[in-house]
Amino acid sequence: QVRLFVSGGGSVQAGGSLWLSCVVSGLTFGNFYMGWFPQAPGKERDGVASITNYDKTSYADPVKGRFTVSRDNAQMYLEMRNLKPEDTAMYYCAADVGYWRAPPLSASDYIYWGKGTQVTVAS
């Protein structure tokens, strides 16, 4: 059974930084990709960063230059800097198996999901 465990998050003032971590277990294939998906109340779950097992990354435009996704085998990290109030959301981690030239940022391209962790940025 595939499971994803998310940790990190919390509350911070605008301009601050936070880390998120996601560990996946139960995936026996090495070629799996992972992504981070924030979801604010009433909004879609849109990806902001993703990474393949060969460290190819994708970022959504609003977070380029502020967020950095990294990976150490089955553990993925998200470093969030210069946080803005609009970054406030529940952040979910997701994974799936396959090869991409650039890892996807669409939730429909992922089948394994972890529980979210709240990120709150105060203005």
Average pLDDT over all residues of the chain? 95
Q: Give the tokens for residue 102.
A: 């650039």
- Among candidate residues 43, 54, 41, the one with its CA nearest the CA of residue 102: 54
Q: Give the tokens for residue 35.
A: 């992504």
pLDDT per residue as tens digits for the range 27-85: 877 789 999 999 999 999 999 999 998 899 999 999 999 999 999 988 999 999 999 99
Q: Give the tokens for residue 48.
A: 């902001």
- Among candidate residues 120, 19, 10, 116, the one with its CA nearest the CA of residue 77: 19
pLDDT of residue 91: 98
Q: CB-based burial of residue 120 (10 Å sphere; 0-12 exposed, 13-18 middle, 19+ buried)?
A: middle
